[in-house]
Amino acid sequence: MSQPVISEDASPARALWRNRDFLMLWSGQSISTVGTGVSQFAMPLLVLALTRSPALAGFVTAVRQSPYLLFSLPAGALIDRWDRKAVMIRCDVVRWLALGSLPLAFALGHLTLAQVFVVAFVEGTAYVLFSLAQISALPQVVDPAHLSRAYSLDTANEYAGALLGPALGAFVIGLAPFIEMGTMFAYLMDSVSYLISVISLRFIRVSFQKDRAPAEASRGSLRAEIAEGLRFLWGQRRLRLMVLLTTAINFLQSSLTLSVIVLGRASLHLDVQTLGFVVSAGGMGGVLGAVLAPVLRARLRFGQVIIGAVLLWAVAVLLLVVAPTAALVVVGYGLANLLWPIYGVTLVSYRLELTPDALQGRVNSAFRFLSYGAEPLGAAVGGALLAALGPRPVLGLIAAGLALCALVSLGTELRTV
């Protein structure tokens, strides 16, 4: 199978910055992802403050990620049926209301752990639908020659949120006299960011999907449509290999951030502000990785990028295992997050170019069902192991698993493609 090549001349980048609709989409998501970074930093701190239980902190992360496992496949088929822009707007409205309900309940004295779990599930479900609609719409918002750069900018958004969100969240939480109140400020900030995203989406003029022919508009059963997406994914040999590899990596790394938080609090005894800086190093690495991703994508073979990323992941997590101070944690966690956009842009740009528009929702959802569906299980297992073993042994297991993934990959076609 031939590998699509993205032109790396200067004109695509300039043309992308003149694309008004892409800029509206990108700028709205820039604000929204910072808000998400704030609330995701606050979530385990809130649960730890309420329960003192790393296992429950891991479980609430698993609850937020579980909609990928539960809803990805039908969501992808529905995204191919529905208006993608309308789906994104409605999902952001739901997230605005859900996140905003936590500060309201706290102010009224009725906040419970059960509500935190319900909000995590609702927000995670809305995120599944929103993100599938967004990634499926991207080939319609930008020209094919700009797709790799556009996705790398989207990825940079996510890591900018991971960079700024924890630091901003730590600052906001630190303003309050106790952590529970501070996390409410963080949730309120994230809620407002979703409202800003809704406003930006309303100003986008381009359609988020191609016009469907009458035969395409007449849909069969949802099950048959889901099966069509799965058959396409499984019928592409390299995509089949990549979904298996990514599933294993996501399972291993799903508890990485929680492990770093527990390591910082329990082993290194860091205060919340220092911990926020440490976690923000992941965002700094991710932004740098998003800048490097299209460059490496053009200069290295597909397999070199993928296998190299997995090998370096194992090294990065091993640094966390032996880290005696916050400085080495910053290096290890920053490197681990630098590699995600390099891996992801290489994989996703290939998948988006290969997939017909009518199948985008289903193929993306099928891939995410398998790869992201491993994350809630990994988060739950990681949280339980953190409670039983502590952070350093768990990080050691993650590093060993990643090293094994790299060795297995060397025995596949990835070594030569």
Tens digits of residue pLDDT in 108-150: 988 889 999 999 999 999 998 998 899 888 888 888 778 778 8
DSSP state of 265: I
DSSP one-letter code for 94 = H
Is the predicted pLDDT of residue 77 greater than 90, yes or no?
no
Pick the closest to residue 348 from 287, 284, 305 (CA basis).
305
Q: How far apart are CA 98 and CA 47, in angstroms?
A: 17
User: Among 254, 262, 230, which Cα is nearest to 65's?
Assistant: 254
Going 72 to 76 to 78 to 82, the CA torsion angle's sign is: positive
Overall average pLDDT of the 272-293 stretch: 81
Residue 272 domain-assigned?
yes
Query: How far is Cα of residue 261 from the mean position of the Cα atoms in its chain?
Result: 18
The CATH code of the domain that includes 116 is 1.20.1250.20
Domain count, the chain: 1
Is residue 93 one of the residues assigned to a domain?
Answer: yes
- Give the model's pLDDT for residue 219: 57
**Is 215 part of a structural domain of the chain?**
no
Tell me the pLDDT tens digit for each residue of 12-54: 444 678 888 888 998 888 888 888 888 888 888 888 888 878 7
Which of 37-41, 272-276, 320-324, 334-338 bottoms out in mean pLDDT, i.e. has the lowest? 272-276
How does the average pLDDT of the chain come out, rounded?
84
**Containing H/E element for 204?**
none
Question: Distance (Å, rounded) from C-alpha 380 to C-alpha 357?
Answer: 35
Residue 132 domain-assigned (yes or no): yes
- pLDDT at residue 249 greater than cutoff 80: yes
Any domain includes 127: yes
Read off the pLDDT of residues 164-177 as tens digits, 9 standing for 90 and up: 777 788 888 888 88
| DSSP structure string for 269-284 | ---HHHHHHHHHHHHH
pLDDT at position 7, please? 38
Give me Rg for the CA atoms of the chain.
21
For residue 220, what pLDDT is reported? 63
Q: How many C-alpha atoms does 392 have within 13 Å on its Cβ side?
A: 9
Mapped onto helix, strand or coil, the DSSP state of residue 300 is: coil
Residue 394 lies in a domain: yes
For residue 290, the number of C-alpha atoms closer than 13 Å in the C-beta half-sphere is 21
**CB of 166 closer than 8 Å to CB of 33:** no
Fill in the DSSP letter of residue 236.
Answer: S
Q: How many CB atoms lie within 10 A of CB 404?
A: 14
- What the block records as the tokens of 372 is 């992201």
User: To 10 degrees, the CA torsion angle through 394, 63, 166, 253?
Assistant: 30
Highest-confidence segment of 218-222, 308-312, 345-349: 308-312
**Phi, psi for residue 35 in degrees, rounded to 5:** -60, -40
In a domain, 128, yes or no: yes
List the structure tokens of 315: 């090294």
Q: CA–CA separation, 230 vs 207, rounded Å?
A: 26
Question: How many Cα atoms within 13 Å fall on the side-chain side of residue 261?
Answer: 26
pLDDT at 8 over 50: no
Query: Which residue range is the domain that position 403 belongs to?
Result: 13-209+222-415
Q: List C-alpha distances in Å: 409 to 153, 248, 252, 336.
A: 28, 12, 16, 18
Please state, in angstroms and rounded to a whole number, the distance separating the CA atoms of residues 232 and 237: 10
Tell me the two tokens of residue 328: 């080495």
Token pair for 380: 């739950």
Tell me the longest C-alpha to C-alpha distance in the chain.
Answer: 64
Asked if residue 3 belongs to a domain, the reply is no
Q: DSSP letters of 168-188? A: HHHHHHHHSSSHHHHHHHHHH
